[in-house]
Amino acid sequence: MPASFSVRTTSSAASVPSSVAALAALQVAVAALLAAGAFLLAGDLIVGNDADGKGGEQFRDYTYAVRPPGVHHGPFKSETGCLLLETHYYD
């Protein structure tokens, strides 16, 4: 189970800073309905780990990713926690 996960909306637009505490995880892959851009400001984010939290590719500070709508992504976890700025938009 995630140690902590919080999402705070910063405006009426779909910009959402997400704070993921140490060892928090999204344990399944999901497909988003909107396109998204994500910028990892600080910490680490591991993408594609298995259900036991093993494996995946680790990304660190100042990583940017773009995801078109309908693309499966995740699971995600963090060993140290991270600050992630994610923007969702219609493509």
Return the structure tokens found at 28: 């399944």
SS3 content of the chain, % helix, strand, coil (to 5): 0, 50, 50
**Whether the model pTM is above 0.75:** no
Alpha-carbon 42 to chain mean position: 12
**pLDDT band, very low/low/confident/very high, at 17 (cuts 50, 70, 90):** very low
Contact status, residue 49 vs residue 56, Cβ threshold 8 Å: yes
CATH code assigned at 60: 2.60.120.10
Q: How many structural domains comprise the chain?
A: 1
DSSP label at 2? Answer: -
Which carries the bigger pLDDT value, residue 50 or residue 16? 50
Task: Give the pLDDT confidence of 22-69 residue by residue, as tens digits.
Answer: 334 556 666 778 888 999 999 999 988 888 888 999 999 999 998 888
> Between β-strands 63-67 and 5-7, what pairing exists: parallel, antiparallel or unpaired?
unpaired
Tell whether the model's pLDDT for residue 82 goes beyond 70.
yes
Domain region containing 49: 5-89
Query: Which residue, chain included where needed, has tokens 């779909």?
Result: 14
